[in-house]
Structure formats: structure tokens, C-alpha cells
Structure 1
């Protein structure tokens, strides 16, 4: 064979096309992976600070020294160890120069039933630190009792230890204008007994302008603000100014309101006090268990509690708290600890704008002969079928798991992330096979842009529903819809078959917003919600449908 024989132009062109195709697919994969990573970067806690930190800063290591005493053993209400913890906390506050008081009361929980005695003699520890020119008092709250099953380092020793370190740091800095009330409630684990007693009986309730309550449901992960009082507009805006590492989503708050869960803030809100609730919620295997020890507590979680507590106390401690109620706001993280918010009333106006933009997009697509009505009608069956199929298959698949495992092994899967992650990966793989396979098969019969438009119509319907029924979560439907709509309009101006990357590019905002919500629900609600979780993944994947399309030809397909 002659080595000087020229390479066939056809072969050279085919090789070039293969390389371009491979590069394009790899770029799309990197783009989607990067957007998921950016979304995950929202869910992080600050690095813990050591004992050598300046006196006016919060140190997780200094707080941990207190926590080792508080959570040395289980200390449920009524136990001898509980009395020791009470006395230790009083001694620590007195050592700082304060005059703590004990509020004693006999309380019956609102959750008590004939078959379950939820009552007790509680001893709240209450301390008031006078301000220089108080409008109304700021109150920090956490509970110091634990469950009988565990020492309660996370729930809620971390909140109590952070409180001691916070007031020490405040004492080392500039004094606050507003009075600062420290409330260490008792009997929370028995049914919010201490919070109920404080609201019903303590004379300082009328002096309080804002409450910051701290909780935990696990022993690691970032702390996030998951609940507020109603009319939270001013509170949210000030929170965003003051918190150095804020993590908060109005969707989580809206969903939390629909759940039967309660904390001390429930009682504070019922008593008319505005406030915010903070918690970290990963490491569920330690929740209410013997492993909830100071040694197992994530130092970063403790640091995050303290960063919130100290910075918000200093910020709100200087503001006029006489009237803090303002129109509710939608709020969410976008990049890391950077947040955006806007009035909740905008949800209706934005979705109305979305309807207008969608109508204009349809006009644009029909005018460019890239959309057909029949194609869109057929196309909408693809995302609906995909969501239904994923939910059904994953739900049935997950039902087989507990039936073939012991209860202890199943609980390990639900609560231990290093075990559950493998099941999560498996479920994600099944979801990907279903969605990609279905898209590839049905895209032979329906033109891609018709399906893309139909998918966005489905997102628009979800947007309308959330704007009216779950306004705090409307952002999760609206903004992915708008950006993907931009990509669809650009595709109408592109050469057919050369625009699939647009779907991935304009899906990035959606992936960034959806990823942290998915992860938080997975970590806090566990894979018991596998069907719903994977349906969310299937919904997100509809934004990149054209990437999986089999054919694009308008001449061969409707």
C-alpha cells in the first residue's frame, strides 16, 4: 500500500463529524454536571473556628467545651442528670455576670392523649440582658432537655451551647440597644411544655419584638432558616443583610406549614410573637439516639448555628423592633450563600407575564413553521407519561425494599447517608433509563420543538398552580420555565439539528434551583419519598429533552 496515498475527504469529514458530535455531547454533560454542582454549593456550612478566635467572634470549639458538659449523658425532664444540666447552665450565666431566673410551671401538652401522658413540671431558664435604648426585646430560644434515648448534643444541646458562646461574644463587643432575652426552654421533647408555659405565664412576653429559635434533627449539615412567622417581609430582608452564610428557601417554609411538625416556635407564633426558626437536619441516624454525642457532632453545624445567632443578635439588637411585620416575601439561594427575594404578591404577576411570553413564543414558532398544534398535542403526552411512569415504577420498586430486609437494615438505608447514597444512585439510574429511553423512542414520531413547547406548557401549568396554592415555591417553576422559554425562541432562529445544546444551556438556572431542594428533601425526608423524589428528577430532565431527541426533521414528522 502506498503510504503517500491521500486520505479520502469523505473519511476525513466523517471523522471530523464524529469528533464534533463527541465534543458536543461531552460539553452538554459537563454543563449539566456543573449546574448541579453549583446548586450543591448552596448546601454548605462555614468552617469551624478554633479557640484562638478573637473574643468578640463565635468559636465552635469554645462552644463545644460547654456542649461536652451539657450533653455528657441523656438528661430528660425529671431526671437527676437534667437537674445537673440546669444547675450548670445557671452557673455559666452567672459567671458571665447575668442574673438568670427559673420559671417553674406544671404543664400539660396540647398533644397529650388519654393513652399518652405528656405533662411535667418544667423549669425554664430565663435571662434578660438590658440594652442601652431598647425598643422591644430580641429573644434567643433553644431547649435544654433531651430525650431519654440520647444525650441530645444536636437536639438541642448545640443550640444551648451556641447561646452561651454567643452572649459571651456579645459581651466582648459593643452593647446592644435592645434588651436581649435568653430562653432555655424545658420539656420541649415532652410536647413543647416550656414554650407553652412561657407564652401563657411569663410577664416578659409582651416585651418581645422578635424570636430566634434554634433546633436540630440530626448531627451534621448546614443550618438553614426553615420557618418564619407570617408577614415576614421585613424580617427576611434584614436576615439577608445580617446573616453571613444564609441558607433559606420559601418553598421549604411553605411545605413545612403543611406538615404536622412542631417546635417551640410553634408556641411562640401562637402567642403572637414574630420570629425565625433555624436547624440543621442531616445525620438522621443520630436523631434521638445514643449516638447524638458531642464527639459525633459536626463542628461546622455548630459554627453555623453560632454564626446565625451572633450576627443576627447584633443586627436585630440595634434595630427598632416595635413593628416588624411586612408583606411576605419569596426567597431562595442562587449561588452559594447569595440570596434573592421579592414580594410574594409578585408571584401572580410573574406567572401572568409567563402566560404572555408563552403565547408570544407559540406565535413565533408557528410563524417560523417550527411548531404545529397537532405536534404539541401529541408532544405533551411524553412528559406526562414520563412523570407518571417514573413515579409508578420507582414507588413499586421501593416497596420491595422493606419487605425483603429487616427493619434495622431498612432504617440504616433511610438514615445513614453513606448507605442510602448507593440506593439513591441506583434509583437515579433507573429514572434516567426510563426518561431517556422514553424520549428517544417517542421522539421518532413527534418533532422535538413541538415536544419542547409542550413541556414548557406543562411547566407553565405547574407555575400557575404554585403561584396560587404554594406561592413560596412558585420561583421553582417560574424561573426555569422563563429561561428555557428563551432557549426555545432562539432555537426557532437556528438551523435545525444544530441547536440541541441550547436546551442544556438554558436549563442551567433550573438545575441550579432544583438541585438543593432535591438534596434537602432527600436528606431530611429520606428515601421513603423515593417516588416523589425521582419524579422531581424526571421533571427536571424535561428541560434538557432535546439533548435526548432521536430525530429533528420537520419534513418527516408532525
Structure 2
């Protein structure tokens, strides 16, 4: 699902280097740098210098922004632009540089990792001096943690905002694990999926179920502002494992996974090469695709195929049942009995898991203090409850299958 990085990796200047990106994270996340702190100004100045070091003309956008969250914030957005040869729409690379204000977060993952990914990718891109059609805008936004204020300031007040055709946004809601690709669209996703496949990132991790759930959640990123206020769509890239470090003092360089940082780089480099020359006016569509990833590959097909596929599958299922009955392998009586272990195991597993967790919160009341509701040994609990559910399932089938499990028992599930 993701690259395995080692310190022995020797990467030429023409390529993305996780080691160099990690050095950027280290410099950005030495101390908490929330809006209004002394270190916030230090990080802003550092980013300006790093962009200038690449030979890029930088600018700073300052102003007040009132967010949907009810916060009025003075923001300081850091901007740079790489001119293309024939640009009609610009590609925008986006991440925020402020850290969470309500904790001693150093902002290494959220979102120092995103800023570092962009800095190192842009450095490699500029070093290669490849001709490209589209302008590339780099935006390190401010005030994201207070209400997406910096992004709102850019979209509503900066004259570059109307030129943006697509956004690549790098975020974090944890400190490790694979980076998932999520989209923000006002219409369908088919065109964005087609372009993503064409860009061919090496380790794609995503699926359309995640996309559907994400659209129903209240979670917002800077990219949401571009979609809602500017009708500009794009891609989010974010990792969510190590969730207990999110917005805490443990969001520092020591808890950021180097494999995760490397994964972010494997997204941006090919996407930057592709979208710097793609037609950014063709990303809008009303059609949706169903999609999912297997190692190294993204599989997609039109959403319109779903109903015919379900009908065909259901038809084949019914035919196979009647063939089984005709051959006396199946019987309606035994098929009906097969629903008892199925629903029994599901209901009992669900109840034991639900109330089992409630019991653990009584035994260990300190779990209630965890900001994100996920314990440090949460993966162990998941494994334990999964194994317990399997044991319950096996027990039900052992009790209700008489002598042995037969084909009849497979019909219900």
C-alpha cells in the first residue's frame, strides 16, 4: 500500500527525497506555531526563504477573514508562482502551516508533512527544468486550524483565485499509515478519476465508499473552501493512522512515520508532472465512477454499471439455487435453517462488542480523556474484538449445523 523508506536511500536532486522532506518537517515543527505565537512568524519567514532559495518569486497575503465557524482571524498566506508556457488555468498546491492552538502540537504531521511534501516536490520539479504549460501556484495557507480562514482569504480576495483550475491539498489526521486520496467535487468524480489514473501514482490508496462517506461527514479542509466558494475541485491526500497523536503534543517529528511522508511524495511528483501539462478545464463532470485500489493499481467503472451488475449477480444467484435444488444438493428447509447461525452470530457479536467497549470504559475511565476517542493500544482492541467475533461465528455454526456445514449454510450469508 505504501513505500518502505530506509535511511540508506540515496536520492538524486532530480527526484523527491524523503530525507530532505523530513529535514523540512524538522525545521517547521521545532515548536508549536499556532496563529499569534512567536514561532508562527518564524515558520512563515522560513517558508518564504525556502521558496526564494528555489529562485521563486514569493509574496505574502495578509488580511482578516471571518469563517463559517464564527472566527475572525488575521492570516498571513505564503504564496509563490511558477509560470507555464501557455497557461489558461493554474494548478494550485496547497497545505496549511499553522499548528493546532488548543494543544502543544508541534504540527509535524498536521500539516508540516504537507508543507514539506510540497517544498521538496517543487524543489525537484524546478531542478528538472521541464517545460510545462500550466502555471503552478504554491499556497501555504494560514489559520486553517481556526476555521479555514487563510484559504477563505485567498479564495475571496486574491486575484489569482479565479485562475485556479485544480487543487492538490495535503493534510493529516494522524501521524502514520497510508495516505488516502479523497476528492472534493461539486459534481461527479469521473473526470478526476480518469486524470488520476493517467497520472499513474505508484501507490494509490482510495475507494469510492470512502469518498461517499467523506461527503456526508462534517469534516472540512482548506479544499472545501475552494469547492464551496470558488467552485474549484481537487484532491485531498491525508493519512489517519496514529490518530491519537492528532492535535496533541505528540504531533512532533518523532511520531511522524517516514513511510507515510514518502507516500505523500509518491502522490505529488507524478501528479505535478501530469497536471502541469493537462487541460485543467475538463475536470468537471456530472458522472460518477465506482473505484477501488489493489496494490499498485486503481480499478474504476461507471456508476451506471452498478444496477445491471447487481441484477446479473442476483439472477445468477437464483439460478444456482434452483440448480442446487434440482440436483438435491440444496433444500429450502436447510437453507432456512442457515439463517439462524448467520443472524445469531451477527447480533451477538454486535452486542458483545458494543457493551464490551462500554465495560472497558468503566474499567479504564482514563480512556474517556483521549481527545480523539482512540486508545494507544486501539489496534490491539480491534484485533481482540475481531477474533472474538470470529469465535462467536464459529460457535454458532458448530451448534446449529448439526453434523457439518453444507452448501445450504452458504446461501444465507
- State the TM-score bracket (shorter-chain normalisation): over 0.9
Q: In the alignment, which residue of structure 2 is the partner of 1:206?
A: 162
Q: In the alignment, which residue of structure 2 is the partner of 1:426?
A: 384
Residue from 330, 338, 342 that aligns with 2:290: 330
- Per-residue deviation at 1:186? 0.5
Check 1:358–1:162 CA distance in 2 against 1; reply closer, same or farther (3 A cut).
same
CA distance in structure 1 between the aligned counterparts of 2:265 and 2:293, rounded to whole angstroms:
20
Asked if structure 2 preserves the Cα contact closer than 8 Å seen for 1:144 and 1:160, the reply is yes
Greater helix percent: which structure?
Answer: 1
- Per-residue deviation at 1:414? 5.6
Check 1:70–1:278 CA distance in 2 against 1; reply closer, same or farther (3 A cut).
same
Report whether the alignment pairs 1:53 with 2:6. Answer: no
Q: In the alignment, which residue of structure 1 is the partner of 2:270?
A: 311
- Per-residue deviation at 1:384? 2.0
Residue from 77, 95, 102 that aligns with 1:142: 95
- Map of 1:105-504 to 2, 5 A cutoff? 105-112=63-70, 118-148=71-101, 149=103, 150-173=105-128, 174-229=130-185, 230-242=187-199, 243-270=201-228, 271-326=230-285, 327-334=287-294, 336-407=295-366, 411=370, 415=374, 417=376, 419-444=377-402, 448-455=406-413
- Per-residue deviation at 1:293? 1.4
69-78 or 325-334, which deviates more: 325-334
- Where structure 1 has 5 or more consecutive residues not aligned to the other structure, the ranges are 1-41, 113-117, 456-558
CA distance in structure 2 between the aligned counterparts of 1:236 and 1:124, rounded to whole angstroms:
30
SS in 1 for 2:197: helix
1:274-318 CA distance string (max 9 Å, x none): 111001111123211112112332111111112211210111111
- Where structure 2 has 5 or more consecutive residues not aligned to the other structure, the ranges are none
- Per-residue deviation at 1:416? 5.2
Asked if structure 1 preserves the Cα contact closer than 8 Å seen for 2:191 and 2:282, the reply is no
CA distance in structure 1 between the aligned counterparts of 2:216 and 2:336, rounded to whole angstroms:
34
Q: In the alignment, which residue of structure 2 is the partner of 1:96?
A: 54
- Per-residue deviation at 1:387? 1.1
1:54-103 CA distance string (max 9 Å, x none): 11100011112222221111011122211111111111111211122222
CA distance in structure 2 between the aligned counterparts of 1:191 and 1:321, rounded to whole angstroms:
28
1:319-356 CA distance string (max 9 Å, x none): 1111212322111112x222211112211121111121
Check 1:343–1:82 CA distance in 2 against 1; reply closer, same or farther (3 A cut).
same
Residue from 65, 68, 74 that aligns with 2:23: 65
- Per-residue deviation at 1:266? 1.2
Greater strand percent: which structure?
Answer: 2
Check 1:206–1:413 CA distance in 2 against 1; reply closer, same or farther (3 A cut).
closer
Asked if structure 2 preserves the Cα contact closer than 8 Å seen for 1:50 and 1:59, the reply is no
SS in 2 for 1:203: coil
- Per-residue deviation at 1:385? 2.2
Asked if structure 2 preserves the Cα contact closer than 8 Å seen for 1:240 and 1:246, the reply is no
Check 1:412–1:261 CA distance in 2 against 1; reply closer, same or farther (3 A cut).
closer
Asked if structure 2 preserves the Cα contact closer than 8 Å seen for 1:49 and 1:59, the reply is no
- Per-residue deviation at 1:361? 1.2
CA distance in structure 2 between the aligned counterparts of 1:254 and 1:409, rounded to whole angstroms:
29
CA distance in structure 2 between the aligned counterparts of 1:300 and 1:330, rounded to whole angstroms:
28
- Indicate the RMSD between aligned Cα atoms, in angstroms: 2.1
SS in 1 for 2:240: strand
SS in 1 for 2:237: strand
Residue from 54, 60, 78 that aligns with 2:36: 78
Asked if structure 1 preserves the Cα contact closer than 8 Å seen for 2:367 and 2:375, the reply is no
- Tell me the matched-pair count: 406
CA distance in structure 2 between the aligned counterparts of 1:253 and 1:212, rounded to whole angstroms:
16
SS in 2 for 1:244: coil
Asked if structure 2 preserves the Cα contact closer than 8 Å seen for 1:49 and 1:60, the reply is no
SS in 2 for 1:104: strand
CA distance in structure 2 between the aligned counterparts of 1:129 and 1:74, rounded to whole angstroms:
30
SS in 2 for 1:260: coil
- Per-residue deviation at 1:446? 9.3
